[in-house]
């Protein structure tokens, strides 16, 4: 058994120390399983050390940004650890982005080098010559940008002639290791810079306080079902990695494959959005016997209805923990622990309480803390928080005020210290001066037996300022008339909160973390010629 974060001195809270420690104490233990390929801790350590030397030989220096565009694989995490060992900073790029969006990230980060999967070669080729600072493009599984072999075929061969001794970058817990770009729901994505410590503080604090709300153990087998270009995917992987566990990686989420992997590899823990859990539970053969190895599932990005929770408890037969976090918090900020997850729980509509070592407050427009029950801006103080936004001092100063992160969410604390989310501040709908939080209306809509999913947005209204529009996804085979939905909301919501228009669609746009992209929903509603939605104004 390897060291756990609680037993590691703070100065060793680095990914380089974890790699070295696990390679020494459990060299043959599987670190990564991906599409049947097994990478042990010894192999991961040696391959990443070689790649780190290759980065240095190629001119990468401490603090340089190194980008990666590709799906989940062992190659991605070899590059991540290589960056840590070379003192460079990894910039993961969302492979769903357009060339224009990729151009922004590469230009903004100043990446001097990018690793790219063959699948996304055309995306990089389209922007490479517009980026004079991008010195080299390396195909992970082929040749470099000039058609020359990348020292062989693929990433391991590219670094094959380098020594497997570990470089000494001289970095510590507070040095940058990864730069993750926000989803950009309200503008251009910003690069949130996270330090090594971001991936150590939470397990350390949990163990110090004797809490097991959410944990990672050396014998865990963790399913990574969210992409590693976001903090949820990369964070879950690194927490398991730092504990010495095994990560089972999916290049892309598929519910049928997820069920198979859990059964085949005896997965013990995972993180997923509620919609993903619902899809997995609906798969053929996804009965309780398929999930006997699971001990805990964490979920986030969206609330879980009591109906879905009951289904999940029956299907998965394990503990559940809800988490509230953001790219800027670096790790979990607030958690609703397993003991709160049961039908009828009085706090199930909250996201939980601050994790040990963290603090939460809710402030008003004047910046002063609000009393329990009053809605305001949520602020979080957590040792895992970001160092700041890359090259954006003003945006950093607005978000990181002293030690407090000013989140983009509106919510309130109750008398017992549980945090209740209302919505994104920028998604608040104002009707005749009254604030409406879409998440509250969406929660009421999905309580209808015919509704599988819902998004609520505000559109301009000459008389009231804005009007409330609901976009609804019905369950397979279900039918519901807009007036029926409207009547189901009466008595559950104040009249001014009830949508005046209902639109039906097959699916809702979501970001990789599972959050509804309301800006995209609004665009669809205001551009019916491009993307029509069946709608009825009531």
pLDDT in tens, the chain (538 residues): 344 444 577 888 999 999 999 999 999 999 999 999 999 999 999 999 999 999 999 889 999 999 999 999 999 999 999 999 999 999 999 998 888 889 999 999 999 999 999 899 999 999 998 998 898 888 887 645 454 444 434 677 778 889 999 998 889 999 999 999 986 545 678 999 999 999 999 999 999 999 999 999 999 999 999 999 999 999 999 999 999 999 999 999 999 999 999 999 999 999 998 888 989 999 988 988 999 999 999 998 766 778 889 999 999 999 999 999 999 999 999 999 999 999 889 999 899 999 999 999 999 999 999 999 999 999 999 999 999 999 999 999 999 999 999 998 889 999 999 999 887 777 888 787 677 878 889 988 999 999 999 999 999 887 777 899 999 999 999 999 999 999 999 988 878 889 999 999 999 998 776 778 888 898 889 875 545 455 555 5
Number of domains in the chain: 3
* 161 domain-assigned: yes
Question: What CATH number did the domain enclosing 295 receive?
Answer: 3.40.50.12780
Can you give the pLDDT at residue 2?
40
Exposure string for 185-219, b = 16+ CB within 10 A, e = fewer: beeebbbbbbbbbbbbbbbbbbbeeeeebbbbbbe
* 11 domain-assigned: yes
Host domain of residue 177: 5-195
What ranges in 187-338 are assigned the alpha helix state H? 201-208, 231-243, 255-265, 274-281, 306-316
* 115 domain-assigned: yes
Asked whether the beta carbons of 335 and 357 are under 8 A apart, the reply is no
Helices 41-57, 74-86: inter-axial angle, 10-degree rounding = 60
Can you give the pLDDT at residue 93?
96
For the chain, the 3-state helix, strand and coil shares in percent, each to the nearest 5, are: 35, 25, 40
Q: Are residues 410 and 263 in the same domain?
A: yes
**Edge-to-edge strands of the sheet including 136-139?**
136-139, 113-116, 65-69, 89-93, 176-181, 191-195, 388-389
Q: Are residues 313 and 382 in the same domain?
A: yes
* 155 domain-assigned: yes
* 221 domain-assigned: no
Q: Are residues 324 and 434 in the same domain?
A: no
Q: Are residues 132 and 154 in the same domain?
A: yes
Instruction: Round to whole Å and give the CA distance between 40 and 38.
Output: 6
Q: Are residues 259 and 134 in the same domain?
A: no
Q: Are residues 387 and 436 in the same domain?
A: no
What ranges in 244-362 are assigned the alpha helix state H? 255-265, 274-281, 306-316
Single residue among 195, 225, 245 that ends a domain in this structure: 195
Instruction: Round to whole Å and give the CA distance between 109 and 111.
Output: 5
Q: Tell me the backbone φ, ψ of residue 204, rounded to 5 degrees.
A: -60, -50
pTM over 0.85: no
Question: What CATH number did the domain enclosing 486 receive?
Answer: 3.30.300.30
* 230 domain-assigned: no
Q: Are residues 21 and 126 in the same domain?
A: yes
DSSP 417: S
Q: Tell me the backbone φ, ψ of residue 532, rounded to 5 degrees.
A: -65, 145
Q: Which of 351, 312, 518, 341 is nearest to 429 (CA)?
A: 518
Q: Are residues 307 and 443 in the same domain?
A: no
Single residue among 195, 215, 238 that ends a domain in this structure: 195
Can you give the pLDDT at residue 433?
67
Tokens encoding 361: 């407050």
Instruction: Round to whole Å and give the CA distance between 40 and 49.
Output: 14
Tokens encoding 56: 């240095």
Q: Are residues 323 and 369 in the same domain?
A: yes
Single residue among 396, 424, 452 that ends a domain in this structure: 424
Q: Are residues 310 and 188 in the same domain?
A: no
Q: Are residues 145 and 265 in the same domain?
A: no
Q: Are residues 392 and 477 in the same domain?
A: no
- Report CA 175 to chain centroid distance, whole Å: 21
DSSP 239: H
Burial class (CB in 10 A: 0-12, 13-18, 19+), 510: middle
The residue assigned the tokens 């604390």 is 413
Tokens encoding 118: 């063959």
* 362 domain-assigned: yes
Tokens encoding 349: 């509509």
By DSSP bridging, strand 136-139 and strand 113-116 are parallel
- Output the CA–CA distances (angstroms, integers) from residue 426 to 52, 290, 436, 519, in the order listed: 42, 41, 11, 10
């Amino acid at each position: 058994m390897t060291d756990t974060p609680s037993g590691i001195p703070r100065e060793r809270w680095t990914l380089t120390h974890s790699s070295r420690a696990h390679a020494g104490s459990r060299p043959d233990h599987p670190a990564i399983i991906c599409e049947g390929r097994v990478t042990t801790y010894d192999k991961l350590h040696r391959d990443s050390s070689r790649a780190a030397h290759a980065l240095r030989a190629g001119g990468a220096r401490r603090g340089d940004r190194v980008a990666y565009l590709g799906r989940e694989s062992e190659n991605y995490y070899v590059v991540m650890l290589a960056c840590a060992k070379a003192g460079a900073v990894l910039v993961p790029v969302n492979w769903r982005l357009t060339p224009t969006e990729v151009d922004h990230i590469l230009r903004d980060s100043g990446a001097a080098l990018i690793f790219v999967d063959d699948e996304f070669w055309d995306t990089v080729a389209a922007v490479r010559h517009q980026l004079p600072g991008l010195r080299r493009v390396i195909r992970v599984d082929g040749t470099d940008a000039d058609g020359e072999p990348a020292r062989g075929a693929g990433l391991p061969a590219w670094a094959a002639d380098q020594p497997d001794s570990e470089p000494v970058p001289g970095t510590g817990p507070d040095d940058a290791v990864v730069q993750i770009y926000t989803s950009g729901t309200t503008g251009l994505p910003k690069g949130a810079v996270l330090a090594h410590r971001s991936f150590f503080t939470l397990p350390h604090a949990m163990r110090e306080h004797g809490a097991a709300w959410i944990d990672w153990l050396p014998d865990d087998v963790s399913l990574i079902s969210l992409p590693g270009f976001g903090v949820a995917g990369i964070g879950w992987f690194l927490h398991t990695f730092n504990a010495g566990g095994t990560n089972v990686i999916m290049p892309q989420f598929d519910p049928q494959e997820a069920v198979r992997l859990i059964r085949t590899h005896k997965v013990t823990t995972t993180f997923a959005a509620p919609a993903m859990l619902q899809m997995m539970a609906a798969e053929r053969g996804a009965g309780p016997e398929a999930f006997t190895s699971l001990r805990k599932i964490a979920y986030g990005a969206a609330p879980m209805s009591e109906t879905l929770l009951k289904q999940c408890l029956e299907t998965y037969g394990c503990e559940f923990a809800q988490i509230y976090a953001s790219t800027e918090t670096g790790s979990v900020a607030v958690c609703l622990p397993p003991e709160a997850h049961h039908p009828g729980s009085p706090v199930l509509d909250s996201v939980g309480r601050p994790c040990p070592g963290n603090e939460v407050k809710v402030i008003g427009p004047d910046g002063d803390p609000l009393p329990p029950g009053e809605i305001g801006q949520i602020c979080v103080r957590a040792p895992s928080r970001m160092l700041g936004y890359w090259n954006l001092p003003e945006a950093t100063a607005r978000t990181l005020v002293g030690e407090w992160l000013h989140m983009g969410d509106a919510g309130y604390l109750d008398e017992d210290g549980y945090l209740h989310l209302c919505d994104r501040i920028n998604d608040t709908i104002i009707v005749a001066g009254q604030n409406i939080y879409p998440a509250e209306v969406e929660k009421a809509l999905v309580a209808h037996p015919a509704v599988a999913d819902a998004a609520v947005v505000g559109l301009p209204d000459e008389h009231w300022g804005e009007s409330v529009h609901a976009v609804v996804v019905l369950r397979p085979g279900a039918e519901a008339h807009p007036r029926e939905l409207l009547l189901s909301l009466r008595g559950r919501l104040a009249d001014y909160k009830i949508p005046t228009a209902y639109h039906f669609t097959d699916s809702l746009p979501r970001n990789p973390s599972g959050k509804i992209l309301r800006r995209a929903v609004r665009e669809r509603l205001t551009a019916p010629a491009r993307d029509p939605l069946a709608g009825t104004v009531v």
